[in-house]
Amino acid sequence: MNRIRLLEADDAEALAAVVVRSREFLEPWEPVRPDHYFTVAGQSDVIADSLRRHAEGTLLPQVILDEAGAVVGRINLNNIVRGPFQSASVGYWLAQEAGGRGLATAAVAEIVRVAFTEEGLHRVEAGTIPENFRSQMVLRRNGFTQFGYAPRYLNIAGTWADHLLFQKLADD
Ligand SMILES: CC(C)(COP(=O)(O)OP(=O)(O)OC[C@H]1O[C@@H](n2cnc3c(N)ncnc32)[C@H](O)[C@@H]1OP(=O)(O)O)[C@@H](O)C(=O)NCCC(=O)NCCS
């Protein structure tokens, strides 16, 4: 079964409900979100921006689906770079109630397959804060290996947080 599909304008309502329900759960692992993000209008704005960047070729924005086909998270191939790099970074989150049963692991497997086949990329990268063991497990289960440690790399929950950097290569 397909665990991911392209983000659509009609996903705004479902995504708003998910981010509201999981707001406290997601907060420690994500950039600080304005209150507008937790509304249907806010999610519509996120979707419009994502689809614009998709049309430009720099982003592959997908939703994660549960066993019943309901939207329970997001996964993106961000910063798609062509030329001699052929690389992108993957980012993802799941609703709290959808965790613990392999949906994120399956979503990463699918988006990596798309990256290396349909998109023709050579490399997919991911970064996690050192405390995010669940995310590191998702990456390791998908054959990602750590290649670096980046001090004060991304602003997560209001702090410039160190990150472990992982990658998977098409020819690994
Ligand atoms: C990171 C995140 C996506 C991981 O979610 P997750 O539920 O641990 O990952 P999965 O959906 O792959 O589920 C893995 C669990 O399902 C179990 N599982 C069951 N069937 C499975 C299967 N077929 N394949 C893989 N795992 C399976 C695993 O054993 C694991 O169990 P555990 O939680 O007891 O260790 C989630 O915690 C999250 O959204 N966190 C907040 C946002 C975030 O951190 N994003 C990433 C930033 S780098």
Given this model, what pLDDT does residue 153 score? 98
Domains of the chain plus CATH, in order, are 4-122 (3.40.630.30)
Is the separation of the CB atoms in 137 and 128 below 8 Å? no
pLDDT in tens, 74-94: 999 999 999 999 999 999 999
> What distance in angstroms lies between residue 84's CA and the mean position of ligand 1's atoms?
33
Strand partners, 94: 73
**170: pLDDT strictly greater than 80:** yes
pLDDT in tens, 127-156: 999 999 999 999 999 999 999 999 999 999
pLDDT in tens, 31-72: 999 999 999 999 999 999 999 999 999 999 999 999 999 999
Does 93 contact ligand 1 (Cβ within 6 A)?
A: yes
Q: Can you tell me the distance from the alpha carbon of 99 to that of 102, in angstroms, rounded to the nearest whole number?
A: 7
Given this model, what pLDDT does residue 2 score? 87
> What distance in angstroms lies between residue 98's CA and the mean position of ligand 1's atoms?
9
And the tokens for 55?
């049309």
Element (H, E) at 124: strand 123-128
Q: Concatenated DSSP letters for 34-93? A: -GGGGSHHHHHHHHHHHHHHHHHTS-EEEEEE-TTS-EEEEEEEEEEE-TTT-EEEEEEE
Does 156 contact ligand 1 (Cβ within 6 A)?
A: no
Per-residue confidence band for 1, with pLDDT thresholds at 50, 70 and 90: confident
Handedness of CA 97, 51, 164, 140 (dihedral sign): positive
pLDDT in tens, 65-76: 999 999 999 999
Q: Is the pTM of this model over 0.95?
A: yes
Given this model, what pLDDT does residue 113 score? 98
